[in-house]
Structure 1
C-alpha cells in the first residue's frame, strides 16, 4: 500500500474518530507527505491520546506549513492552540510568546476574521488564570459575539461556557447555568470539535460541582462518560471524567468505588503527561479516606494535594478536628473565611466552617455563617446547599441550647439529603435530630434516630461517625445535651482543674476552654463553675 493510500486511510480514521488508527497513519507518513491540515489533525489525535510532546511538535509544523502557504489566519489558529497546550502544561512564558506571535500575525490580516475571536478567547483565559476577573467580564462577551457572527461552533461553545462561569462567580447563578446549558447544546449535538468539546464538558461539570448542583453534574457526567467511551484509545479528558464520577459516587456513599475512580484519574492524568487538576484528585481521595476513618492515608492524600498546588481545604481542617487538633482547624477556617469573597467559593467552605467553629466553642462566630449559607443556598437554588445550610443552622441551634429550632432545621436537612440520595449526609442530619429530641425529653424518638444513623454509618463503612453515633446512643440522655468536648471540660471542672490546666490536658487554647464553659453554663442553666460541678455530680457524669 502506498503512502497516499495510507494517508487517505488515516484521514478517514480521523473523521470517524478512530484516534489510534489516525495517529498511526499520520505519524508514519513522514513530514514531507503531510499538509498543514494533516499536521493539525495529527496534533489533535496526539493530544487526545495523551501524547503531549507529539502534539506540540505537530502544532509547530502546522504553524510553519500555514505560514509557508501564506495562510496567516490558519497559522494564528495553530499558534493559539499551541499556546493553550503550553498554558495547560505550566509553560506560561513560552505560551505568552506564541500568543504574541499570533497577535502580530493578525495585525497584518486585512478585515475582521474569526481568528480574532480566538485571540479574545486566549485573552479571556489569561485574565481568569491571573485573577483579573473584571477584565475577563469585558472580554467574554466578545468571544460569544465572534462565535455567533462567524457561525463557529467551537468559539461559540467556548465563549458561552466562559461567560456562564463568570456569571456564576458574580452571583448570577441562574443566568450562568443558562449559558452553560446553551454551550452544551452544541457539544451534545456533535457540532463542536473533540478537544473543545472535552474542555467545555469538563469545565461545565466543574462549575456544577462548585455550586453543589449535583443533579446537573450527574447528567453531564453521564454524558461525558458516554462521549469518552465512544472514542477508542482516548486519554485526554478521561482523568477529569473519572474525578467527576468519583465525586458523585462519594455523594451517594459508594466510597470504595469512588476511591477506584480517583486512582483511575491519577493514572489517566499521568498518561496524558500531567494535568493541573491532579491535586484535586488527591484532595477528593483525602475526603473519602477521612470519612472512612483512615486518617493517616487521608493526611498523606491531603499533603500530596498541597504539594501539587491544591490547598486541600476544608477537608484537611475537618481531619484535624477529627484528630482533636481543634486549634489549628479553627485558625485555618478563620483564615479561609477572611480570604474567600466569592459566594461560589464560600459556598463550599461555610458548612465545614460551622462544624469547626462550633466544636471549637465559637458558636457566636458560626451563627452568621449558617445564615450566610442559607442565603447563598436560596440564591443559587441548589438543593444540596439548602440542605447543608439547614444542617448548619441546626448545629448552631444545638450549641445555643435551642433544641426546637435545631429539630426543625435538622428535619429539613434530612429531607433534602434524602431526595439527593446522599446517605452519609442524611445520617449526619439524623444525628442532629436525635440530639435535639433528647434535649426536648423525647428519649425514645431520640434513640430511634440515633440508631438509624449508626446503622447507616456502619453500612457505609464510616467508622468515626458510627462510633460517635453509638456513643451518643449510649448516653442519648446526657442532661443538658452537652457535646463530647463540653462533657470533657465539665468533668475536668468538677475535678477542680483551672482553665489553664484544662487547656493543657485537652491541647486547646484557654480562650476555647472559656467558650466551652460559657456554652455549658447556658445549656445547664447554671451561673458558676461550682454549680456546673454540682450538676456533674448530681447527674453522675464523672
Structure 2
C-alpha cells in the first residue's frame, strides 16, 4: 500500500512540474481505485500532452464523475467544459454540446467564479461558429470581465483573443488584430498555462494567415517556435504549430523549410488528429508541386486522400502540370459534387484558397466562358481567391508535358475560381517575399492601409 501511494505521489509531483511522460507512467500504472478525481484529471492532462487522446478523454470522464459524485460542482463544470472542447475538436458536435450543457447545469445557481468565465468563452466560440456574432461578442466580453475580476490570465487571454477573432469576422480588422496582439503579449510573457498558450498561438497565427498578414504571422510563428521546443516531442502542439509555420515559410518562398515542417507535422499529428495530419499531407503535396517534384506531390496527395481529406485543387493543378487537363477537370467536378468536397482545401475550410494560373493560358476570353461548377451550385458562396503565376519548375514541367489545347487547360483550371475582370494592386506582404508568392485578402481588410503604395501587377483577387 505504501509503495502504491509513493508511486501516485511521484505522479502528482511530475504533473505539477508538467513532466508529462513521467506523470503518465506513474499514474497510468496505478490501480484506478486508488486515484482521486484530482489524480484522474492529472492523468488526463498527461495523456493529452502525449497525444493519447482517447485515454485522456476516458480519464477526464472518470475525473468528472468523481467530482460530480463528491458535490464539487465547480470542478465538475470545469471538466465537463474541457470534455466539450475535446469532442468539438473531434468533430462530434452533439457530444460536445451535451457536455457543454452539463457544464452549464453544474454552474446554475452558483455565485460568480472563474468557471463562469471559462464557460462564457466556450459559449462565445460556439456562437461564433453558428453565426451569432453579436451574441458571441457579448459572451466574450463577459468572459474577459470575469477574468479581470478574478485575476485569471488564462481566461483573460482566451476572452480577449476571442473578441479579436469576432471583430475580424465582423470586418473590423484593425481593432481585431490589436486585440490579438494584446492577447499574445500574455503568451510571450509566459503568463498563461501551456494548454491556453497553444490555443492562443494557433488561433492568432491562423487568423493572420487568413488575413494574408504574412509579416505578423511570421513574427508570431517565430515566437512560437521557442515555446514548442520546450514541449514533449509527442505533444499535439508542435505538430499543429508546424502546419502554420509551413504555410508561412511557403508563402515567403522558403519551400525546403516549408516541406520539412509540413512533412514532420503529418507524422506528429497522425495519432492525435488524423484529419490535421491529412491537411499537413496536402500542404506537403502543394509545396512539392510548386517545387516541381510532381511524383512526391502525387504521393502526398494520395496519403491525404486515404485519410479522408479531398486533395483539391492541388491535385487538379498537379494533373495540369502532368499534361492531363481532362483529369484535372473531372477531379474537380467529382470533388465539388461529393460529400467529401466539403473538406476540399478550396472550400469549406478555414485555410485560404490558393490557385495558380494555367500554363501560359493565352485565351482569357475562353477561360472566362468555361463553366464554373461553383457558380452552378445553389447556396454556394465563392470565397475570394488569389491566382499567381506558378513557379519556374512548374511552368517548365507544364510546357513540356501539356499537349492538349491551352484553352482546355484554362477551362479545367477555371473550376478553381473565376478569372478576375479587372487589374488590381500587387499584394506582396514583405520585402523578403518572392515575387511568386502572394496572398489573398478579404474585401474588408485594410491590413496595409498605412503601408507603401503597391505597383500594379497581374495578380487578380476575386
Question: TM-score normalized by structure 2?
Answer: 0.70
CA contact (8 A) 1:359 1:485 kept: no
Cα 1:228/1:137, change in 2 over 3 Å: same
5+ long unaligned stretches in structure 1 = 340-344, 367-384, 396-424, 429-456, 458-462, 471-483, 490-502, 513-542
1:287 alignment counterpart: 286
CA contact (8 A) 2:201 2:224 kept: yes
Cα 1:276/1:73, change in 2 over 3 Å: farther
- Does residue 51 of structure 1 match 2:52? yes
Alignment of 1:24-423 (within 5 A): 24-107=25-108, 109-133=109-133, 135-272=135-272, 274-299=273-298, 301-302=300-301, 304-305=303-304, 312=311, 314-316=313-315, 318-323=317-322, 348-349=352-353, 352=355, 361-362=364-365
Partner-residue secondary structure (3-state), 2:364: coil
2:422 alignment counterpart: none
CA contact (8 A) 2:133 2:170 kept: no
Q: How big is the shift at 1:332?
A: 6.5
Identify the range of structure 1 (322-331 vs 224-233) with the bigger mean alpha-carbon deviation: 322-331
Any idea what the Cα deviations from partners look like across 1:85-127, whole Å, max 9, x if unmatched?
Answer: 12212232222222222222222x3322322222222222323
Cα 1:358/1:118, change in 2 over 3 Å: farther
2:395 alignment counterpart: 465
Alignment of 1:486-497 (within 5 A): none
Partner-residue secondary structure (3-state), 2:74: helix
Cα 1:310/1:171, change in 2 over 3 Å: farther
Any idea what the Cα deviations from partners look like across 1:115-152, whole Å, max 9, x if unmatched?
Answer: 22222222223234445545434433333233223222
CA contact (8 A) 1:66 1:75 kept: yes
Q: How big is the shift at 1:180?
A: 1.2
CA contact (8 A) 1:39 1:62 kept: yes
Any idea what the Cα deviations from partners look like across 1:513-536, whole Å, max 9, x if unmatched?
Answer: xxxxxxxxxxxxxxxxxxxxxxxx
- Choose 1 or 2 for highest CA Rg: 1
2:22 alignment counterpart: 21
CA contact (8 A) 2:21 2:50 kept: yes
In structure 2, how many angstroms separate the alpha carbons of the residues matched to 1:153 and 1:43? 22
Q: How big is the shift at 1:77?
A: 0.4
In structure 1, how many angstroms separate the alpha carbons of the residues matched to 2:235 and 2:183? 23
Any idea what the Cα deviations from partners look like across 1:207-255, whole Å, max 9, x if unmatched?
Answer: 1222222222222222322212213354221211222332233234443
Q: How big is the shift at 1:284?
A: 1.0
Looking at secondary structure, tell me which structure has more helix per residue.
Answer: 1
Partner-residue secondary structure (3-state), 2:61: helix
CA contact (8 A) 2:50 2:235 kept: yes
2:457 alignment counterpart: none
Cα 1:254/1:175, change in 2 over 3 Å: same
In structure 2, how many angstroms separate the alpha carbons of the residues matched to 1:233 and 1:257? 19
Cα 1:57/1:23, change in 2 over 3 Å: same
CA contact (8 A) 1:329 1:356 kept: no
Cα 1:148/1:277, change in 2 over 3 Å: farther
**Aligned Cα RMSD in Å?**
4.1
5+ long unaligned stretches in structure 2 = 337-341, 343-348, 370-383, 415-462
Cα 1:87/1:253, change in 2 over 3 Å: same
Partner-residue secondary structure (3-state), 2:111: coil
Cα 1:42/1:169, change in 2 over 3 Å: same
Q: How big is the shift at 1:17?
A: 2.1
In structure 2, how many angstroms separate the alpha carbons of the residues matched to 1:37 and 1:61? 10
CA contact (8 A) 1:144 1:156 kept: yes
Cα 1:234/1:181, change in 2 over 3 Å: farther
Any idea what the Cα deviations from partners look like across 1:35-78, whole Å, max 9, x if unmatched?
Answer: 32222222111111111122112211211221233210110001
Cα 1:152/1:312, change in 2 over 3 Å: farther
In structure 1, how many angstroms separate the alpha carbons of the residues matched to 2:79 and 2:311? 36
Cα 1:346/1:117, change in 2 over 3 Å: closer
CA contact (8 A) 1:283 1:312 kept: yes
Question: TM-score normalized by structure 1?
Answer: 0.61
Q: How big is the shift at 1:256?
A: 3.8
In structure 1, how many angstroms separate the alpha carbons of the residues matched to 2:139 and 2:75? 22
Any idea what the Cα deviations from partners look like across 1:489-526, whole Å, max 9, x if unmatched?
Answer: 8xxxxxxxxxxxxx7xx6777xx9xxxxxxxxxxxxxx
CA contact (8 A) 1:357 1:365 kept: no
